Each structure stands twice: as C-alpha cells, then as structure tokens.
C-alpha cells in the first residue's frame, strides 16, 4: 500500500513582498518610504514571543509583531499595508509556525519510526 502522507513543502529561505502601495512613515524631512517587505525564517525567540502575543493579544496583532520582527519593518507601517500583502506574509511565516506531522517531528515522508 502506498504511503499517502503529504510531503511538507519546501519553504524558501526568504520572501520579498512588493507592496501594492508604498507606505510613507515620518514627517518633515525624515520620511521613510517602504515599498517591500523582506521576510526570512524566524528564530526561536521570535516564535516564542509570537506564541505569547497570540495568547494575550490575539492572532492578528501577534502576526503583525512577527512580520515586523522578522522584516525590520516598523509596526506603524505594517498597520497600513493592504490585506493581500499581509496575507502573503502570513502564509509564508505560517509555514515555520505550523509543526511538522505529529507522527514525524522531522517532516520526513516515511515517518520517524
């Protein structure tokens, strides 16, 4: 009988999201313009803080924190991005948040036994 478990998809090392609309932060001569968000794999401290924030502040605020922490984009900028851009970032980071198959903590197709 063929093993029908799904192989965990390969997640790229980084993802650059070109924002649909540029976001300007600041005022006067100190304007910063954001046209993209560059994401990468979160570290364990970022993941731990995300989980704590999700329990305390809710999933949306926790994901905004994680995107900001991983990308270096300030939270006030993330609050202004479009929903589609947010969902692209969320989809990418969720791949690191979701644990592998419970029967296989290493994500191997054949299982860990």
Q: What is the spatial distance between Cα 72 and Cα 10, in angstroms, rounded to a whole number?
A: 24
Q: What is the spatial distance between Cα 69 and Cα 71, in angstroms, rounded to a whole number?
A: 6
pLDDT in tens, the chain (113 residues): 445 555 667 889 999 999 999 999 887 677 899 999 999 999 999 999 999 999 999 999 999 999 999 999 999 999 999 999 999 999 999 999 887 665 555 555 554 44
**Residue 80: inside a domain:** yes
For the chain, the domain total comes to 1
pLDDT at res. 56:
97
**Residue 56: inside a domain:** yes
Return the SS3 of 30. Answer: coil
**Residue 60: inside a domain:** yes
Q: Quick one: how far is CA 38 from the chain centroid?
A: 10
- Residue 71: give the domain boundaries: 36-97
**Residue 54: inside a domain:** yes
Q: What is the spatial distance between Cα 50 and Cα 64, in angstroms, rounded to a whole number?
A: 9
3-state helix, strand, coil in the chain (%, to 5): 40, 20, 40
pLDDT at res. 5:
53
């Amino acid at each position: 009988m063929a093993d029908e478990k799904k192989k965990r998809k390969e997640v790229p090392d980084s993802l650059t999201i070109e924002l649909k609309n540029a976001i300007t932060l600041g005022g006067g001569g100190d304007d910063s313009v954001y046209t993209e968000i560059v994401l990468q794999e979160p570290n364990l401290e970022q993941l731990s803080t995300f989980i704590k924030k999700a329990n305390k502040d809710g999933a949306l605020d926790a994901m905004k924190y994680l995107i900001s922490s991983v990308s270096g984009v300030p939270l006030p900028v993330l609050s202004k991005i479009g929903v589609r851009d947010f969902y692209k970032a969320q989809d990418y980071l969720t791949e690191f948040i979701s644990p592998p198959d419970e029967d296989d903590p290493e994500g191997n197709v054949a299982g860990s036994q």
